[in-house]
Amino acid sequence: KKKLKISGRELLSVPMQVFGLDQLQVLEMSPERESCLRYRMELLPQEIGRLRNLTCLYVDSNNLKKIPAEIGTLSRLERLTLSNNSLSSLPAEMGALQRLRSLHLANNSLTELPAPLCQLRSLTFLDVSDNKIVTIPSSIRHLEKLETLLLLFNSLESLPEDVCLLRNLHTLWLGNNHLRSLPAAFGELVNLDWGYNYCSCNFEGNPLESPPPEVCSRGPERIRDYFSSLHRI
């Protein structure tokens, strides 16, 4: 078997036989998104590290409280979905997943974005919406291939200037945080689609003062002009 889906409302753990499937590439243990179900698995066993050929691991909508350090041995992993769980922290070993391109962490209880995750240079998609994240580490600048960053519904009070070095960003959602200001170089994110209705750059639900929302809505040039005018004063 190269692909395996395990389902069931009463799913509490991974059957141990699964860890003998050393050719397994895709393992899915999430309910269908439209079902609104939530499985009951609280622990991903450390034996997950045996599945060295995994490229995709889907464990959304369970009740996971901890991810084992052994996940860092899954060197071929490209897609990892952990949204809608009960995670308050992540193991530093996840920084070893150097082929990871897509990481879903929405709707957990994370209070920080661990610095090791910011070493994943192949990452193109990162969703940490609906957590309790207060700060973004400056090491985020290493995510040089990142195209989509979703940070909605967190507790961010500021963004590091290093976010402005993510020149490949096409989508950045910052809605519903506590941001009062943006970095002075924010207008350098010229690859963002500043199109209709903030579709790719969302600030709604923030008490923005510098620059004010009406400036942000007009795109990168107006943001650059705004900060330039401050320097001239």
Pairing of strands 201-202, 102-104: unpaired
- DSSP output for 32-65: -GGGT------B--GGGGG-TT-SEEE--SS---
| Angle value at C-alpha 107, between 106 and 112, nearest 5 degrees | 75
Give the Cα separation of 83 and 174 in Å (integer).
18
Q: What's the whole-number average pLDDT of the chain?
A: 90
How much is the pTM? Answer: 0.92
User: Which pair of tokens denotes residue 24?
Assistant: 């397994």
**Element of type H or E holding 12:** none
How confident is the model at residue 119, as a pLDDT? 87
Distance from first CA to last CA of the chain, Å, rounded?
Answer: 67
How confident is the model at residue 176, as a pLDDT? 94
How confident is the model at residue 7, as a pLDDT? 84
Give the Cα separation of 41 and 103 in Å (integer).
20
How confident is the model at residue 94, as a pLDDT? 95
Q: Which residues of 159-189 are buried (b: 16+ CB within 10 A; e: fewer)?
A: beebbbbbeebebbbbbbbebeebbbebbeb
* Percentage of the chain lying above the pLDDT 70 cut: 95
pLDDT band per the 50, 70, 90 thresholds, residue 9: confident
pLDDT band per the 50, 70, 90 thresholds, residue 161: very high
pLDDT-wise least confident of 52-66, 105-119, 209-223: 209-223
The yes-or-no verdict on residue 233 having pLDDT over 70 is no
The yes-or-no verdict on residue 197 having pLDDT over 80 is no
How confident is the model at residue 222, as a pLDDT? 87
How confident is the model at residue 18, as a pLDDT? 93
How confident is the model at residue 29, as a pLDDT? 93
The yes-or-no verdict on residue 232 having pLDDT over 70 is no
The yes-or-no verdict on residue 13 having pLDDT over 90 is no
Phi, psi of 121 (to 5 degrees): -70, -15
Work out the number of other CB atoms within 10 angstroms of the CB of residue 214. 9
